[in-house]
Structure 1
Amino acid sequence: MTRLSRARIDALQAHLLSPEWRAPEIGIVHLGIGNFHRAHQALYTEEAMLARGGDWGICGVTLQGDVTKRNALMAQDGLYSVVERGPDGVRVTVARALCEVLAMPADRASLFELLANARVRIVSLTVTEKGYCRDAKTGDADFSNEGVIRDLAQPEEPSTVPGILTTALKARLDANVSPFTVLSCDNLSHNGAALKQVVVSYAARLDKELAAWIYAEVSFPSTMVDRIVPATTDADREAARDALGFIDEAPVPCEPFRQWVIEDRFPAGRPAWEVAGAQLVEEVGPFEIAKLRMLNATHSTLAYLSMLAGFETISDAIGHAPLRQLIHAMMTEEIAPTLNVPASFNLLAYRDALLERYANPALKHRCAQIAMDGSQKMPPRILSTIDARLRSGEPFERLALGVAAWFLFLRGTAEDGTRYAVSDPYAEQLTQLASSAQDAEHLVDAMLGVPDVFPASLAASSALRDALVRAACSLERGTRGAIEGYA
């Protein structure tokens, strides 16, 4: 069977967003060309160009040193299919906004040549929390990070996000070219401001005048993104092949729902994303916090409880009535009261929509995927909510159960004895602590002593410790029994 390619576009008309297409020049460079970007921002951008035009073609960049994804996508001329799985069936769309894919470090010279070009007006990112090389305690770049140390020693050959952005912005300043806008699309609290602090602090180690220029002249708008995008499986490749009649080595599965809230600060211009349904706002904070706490916190809670109890996917987990009841109560009673959102944002309707999305049986979002990188996800998703509940003197028992489930998850063994890998930047340290703890109290004390996860104010809270010990004891007696007890 023939491979997907632009030469075959006439045979794909039924799967295109529009039969019309003017090949754009590259105006956006995206760092971290994973599934999420291709199912989310890339589609918004293609729809914006179809509606309003503009040269906003995308160059995607892989940062992991692996050329496999680059080669797969470029063998298809940047084309790939989006396999949208909903309760009513599967819809397959071929996306065209991706014009080029580069891989670091192999394509470093090509990347920096492109970043220096004035036609590139936005550099966007989906690199996950750990990709920012950020010191969680200070908010600055993590100057103990091996990649950051290497980049500072060899600033002309950077490999980290702060190194790449700083070197590219310096080149534009030296050439008297206006800076690009830096657009974070990761699930990181106040992601634009957080990235700005990382980049400015990194740049200051090299050139304080450059750092001052970045601080004053470069725009870092914050965003809130939402779409459930699982890892690609053979079933997704088969669905794309059957629908298209062509082989696609890089399809992206996703749910029908999507959301993008963006602070409208783009001095060099932007695509007309609003015509594709994005919300352009003055302040993204309330939307971002609602998503982090309502969706991401409950997603993580579901994942860790499921890894212990033996539920493979989120739809399996939410299909267990006591677990659905627990998540419903967590959102209603413990999370929603911490949120300050615009009057137009109906939190209870948002809760019900999330539960419906979780129950989508067609998506098969694996709990093991969501359980990755817990040390990075726990503080903004669950611990910030617990902190808000502590300050208001309100209970947070279900939130504590989610944290305790993560503690037990770090032992690497499900309740039935099944072993699984723990993927986390601090995996070695955390798994050692969790596995060596003699009982629930020792486990909680050991984990509260990890300053990269628990700030001193939370670690010192006797109320938090007590709630975590209760939850861990309950889980050790049996996960499903604990779920029923906390529902």
Structure 2
Amino acid sequence: MTTRLAAAALPQIASRASVPNYRRDALSPGIFHFGVGNFHRAHQAVYLDALFNLGEGHDWAIVGSGVRAADEAMREKLKAQDWLTTVVEQEADGSSARVTGAMIDYIRPGDAAAILDKLADPAIRIVSLTITEGGYFIDAATQQFNPADPEIAYDAAHIEAPKTAFGLILAGLMRRRAAGIEPFTVMSCDNIPHNGRVTRDAVAGLARLFDPDLARWVEDNVAFPNGMVDRITPATGERERKILADDFGIEDGWPVFCETFKQWVLEDNFPAGRPALEKVGVQFVPDVSPYELMKIRILNGGHATIAYPAGLMDIHFVHEAMEEPLVRDFLTKVEQEEIIPVVPPVPDTDLDSYHALCQRRFSNPKIGDTVRRLALDGSNRQPKFILPSVADRLKAGAPITGLALVGALWCRYCYGTTDSGAVIEPNDPSWDRLTHEAKRARENPAAWLEMADIHGDVGRDSRYVEAFSHALKTLWQVGTRETLERYLAGRL
């Protein structure tokens, strides 16, 4: 028999899962969060829940919201269970469940008035975001904020009732400025390089469209700490709900499944104050850059390296991809020979050991992470996770055979069929465009690299054009399996 998750059911659930040991009715909000998705609930919310369980930081509870219509479904599920979430941590040798209660409210997405009222509340001292890599209005080629985006242009013309997270943040800051209230700190928790700087550029860049003085005030007075976040957190489906019900007897409308590993490295730049997260494992450092570059190049670059060959070979789960020797050995060779050599040193970290840790995490059979999730949104992820390593190697005059093959595998995947002929359903916001260009590239590989907004200068470098073209032609001639075999044997 299962128990439906709710505050009143926590005493009954406590025999099956860890539950909050603090009084949730004694919590007060200190953080407003945009984007209450799986990663946020498996990461930031878990750290805060752990801190609250220590009896500390009870004035740092979360109020959530979103900016997409789809966020309303999440809100309804969480509202029905008193904003509680079941987090299931899974490893090969066992699983555990905990109910977290760090979020105490969730303002309806699209209710700009209510969101702005909360952002103007002096009690809110941090505004955080997990809006995905593609949500920052970044031009892929320049990696700079794109002020010409229609959504940004709309907010600039309607700042009294904006629609984007950045418009709402800016409007909230404007209210606080007018009222003489200290600005909140804006903390990105998304997996993008220099996420604090990128967020600052978006908020100030929006302001610059209609009030240059406001933009300067934002840059001079609002803190945007950079941070590196990490935890593998797959999407939730019926599989996860059933496991939770069968193994723990809990009925949760939107549980979160994740690995036990988690990491959060933050620059300690919070003028308005912050919770004492160092007591629950967050690492505060003067400069997060070495950590985030390591993670983005080795872990996220590794995900991109295995996603497309596995997808083309009809492999469903990530751990199954790691069980395929060709995919696993491809990952190892590309990482050791082409990615790790262009990753700068990281304090107190051995890069080879970090890579080995990543491989163990990818191989976790319990996590149920899918190849399709790793392959999602390549048009935003390739310029962040793969192409910078290519650019560094080209600058150094170093070989790029493996990384060019990673790019060719992505192109081949975007053609829309696997090697067996199975249809690949759309898996990118720009899928129609990518499919069109991938079909052109079958006869003329360089056509793929003409997408300058994605490939930038790398796509115009003759060395990369040659290596990419050869890899793509080989994929079409002999298929993914044989191409990997040739690469691993040094014959590509």
- Shift in Å, 1:109: 1.9
Residues 1:203 and 1:59: Cα distance change in structure 2 (over 3 Å) = same
**Are 1:447 and 2:451 matched, yes or no?**
no
Out of 17-26 and 48-57, give the one that drifted further: 17-26
Indicate the SS of the match to 1:83: strand
Report what 2:208 is aligned to: 204
Distance 2:329 2:122 in 1: 53
Aligned match of 1:88: 93
Q: How many pairs were matched up? A: 482
Instruction: Name the SS of the counterpart of 2:58 in structure 1.
Output: coil
Paired with 2:243 and 2:431, the residues of 1 have a C-alpha distance of 35
Q: 1:199 to 1:138 in 2, by over 3 A?
A: farther
Asked if the contact 1:49–1:272 (Cα under 8 Å) also holds between the matched residues in 2, the reply is no
Q: Which range moves more in the overlay, 381-390 or 421-430? A: 421-430
Residue matched to 2:403: 399
Q: Does 1:64 align with 2:68?
A: yes
Cα offset, 1:459, TM superposition: 2.0
Please name the residue that 1:102 is paired with. Answer: 107
Equivalence for 2:21: 19
Shift of 1:252: 0.5
In the alignment, the residues of structure 1 paired with residue 184 and residue 57 of structure 2 have an alpha-carbon distance, to the nearest angstrom, of: 19
Any idea what the Cα deviations from partners look like across 1:386-429, whole Å, max 9, x if unmatched? Answer: 11111111112111111111111111111111112233232222
Q: Determine if the alignment matches structure 1 residue 466 to structure 2 residue 471.
A: no
Instruction: Tell whether 2:52 aligns with 1:49.
Output: yes
Matches within 5 A, 1:145-160: 145-160=149-164
Q: In structure 2, what is the Cα distance between the partners aligned to 1:273 and 1:338? A: 32
- 2:90·2:257 contact (CA, 8 Å) conserved in 1? yes
SS at match of 1:206: coil
Residues 484, 102 of structure 1: alpha-carbon distance in 2 compared, 3 angstrom cutoff: farther
Task: Find the aligned partners of 2:59 and 2:486 in 1 and give their Cα distance.
Answer: 56
Measured against aligned partners, the alpha-carbon deviations of 1:330-364 in whole angstroms (never above 9, x if no partner) come to 11121111111235111111111111111111112
1:223 maps to 2:227: yes
Q: Paired residue for 2:436? A: 432
Normalised to the residue count of structure 2, the TM-score between the two structures is 0.95
Per-residue CA deviation, residues 317-339 of structure 1 (Å, 9 max, x unaligned), is 11111221111121112111111
Deviation, 1:53, is: 2.8
Task: Give the Cα–Cα distance (whole angstroms) in 1 for the partners of residues 442 and 194 of structure 2.
Answer: 38
**Distance across 1 between alignment mates of 2:108 and 2:22:** 30
Counterpart-to-counterpart distance in 2, 1:292 and 1:146? 29
Amino acid at match of 1:225: V
Which ranges in structure 1 are unaligned for 5 or more consecutive residues? none
Structure 2 SS opposite 1:437: helix
Higher mean displacement: 135-144 or 291-300: 135-144
- For structure 2, list consecutive stretches of 5 or more residues without a partner in the other structure: none
Structure 2 counterparts to residues 121-200 of structure 1, below 5 A: 121-137=125-141, 140-200=144-204
SS of the residue corresponding to residue 87 of structure 2 reads strand
User: What is the 5 A alignment of 1:35-434?
Assistant: 35-51=38-54, 52-66=56-70, 67-105=72-110, 107-137=111-141, 140-434=144-438
Bigger mean CA deviation after superposition, 129-138 or 385-394: 129-138
Helix, strand or coil for the counterpart of 2:107?
Answer: strand
> TM-score normalised to the size of structure 1?
0.96
Aligned partners of 1:296, 1:417: CA distance in 2, in Å? 28
Deviation string, structure 1 residues 22-79 (Cα, Å, up to 9, x no partner): 5311111111110000001110111123333331111121221132110110110001
Q: Which secondary structure state, in structure 2, belongs to the residue aligned with residue 454 of structure 1?
A: helix
Deviations 1:171-203 (A, max 9, x none): 111111111111111111111111111111110
Alignment partners' CA distance in 1, 2:408 and 2:252: 41
What SS does the aligned partner of 2:139 have? coil
Which deviates more from structure 2 when the two are superposed, residues 152-161 or residues 348-357?
Answer: 152-161
Residues 30 and 61 in structure 1, CA contact (< 8 A), matched pair in contact too? yes
| 2:37 aligns with one of 34, 38, 43 | 34
Partners of 2:234 and 2:314 lie apart in 1 by 19
In the TM superposition, residue 134 of structure 1 has moved relative to its aligned partner by 2.4
- More displaced stretch, 186-195 vs 430-439: 430-439
The percentage of aligned residue pairs carrying the same residue is 37
Distance 1:214 1:27, change over 3 A: same
Q: Which runs of 4+ in 1 moved over 6 A?
A: none
Residue type of the partner of 2:18?
Answer: L
Task: Write the deviation string for residues 219-240 of structure 1: whole angstroms up to 9, x where unpaired.
Answer: 0001111111000121211222
Distance 1:39 1:214, change over 3 A: same
Partner Cα separation in structure 2 for residue 425 and residue 27 of structure 1: 34
Q: Report the Cα distance in structure 2 between the residues aligned to 1:340 and 1:54, rounded to whole angstroms.
A: 39
Counterpart code for 1:327: L
Q: Distance in 2 between matches of 1:331 and 1:53?
A: 41
Which residue identity lines up with residue 361 of structure 2 in the other structure? Answer: R
Cα separation, 2, equivalents of 1:473 and 1:8: 59
Asked if the contact 1:375–1:453 (Cα under 8 Å) also holds between the matched residues in 2, the reply is: yes
Cα distance in 1 between the residues matched to 2:441 and 2:447: 7
- Match of 1:91, SS? strand
Shift of 1:290: 0.5
Task: State the alpha-carbon separation in 1 of the partners of residues 326 and 139 from structure 2.
Answer: 38
Evaluate the alpha carbon distance shift between residue 243 and residue 272 of structure 1 in structure 2; reply closer, same or farther with a 3 A threshold.
farther
Contact 2:140 2:383 (8 Å CA) reproduced = no
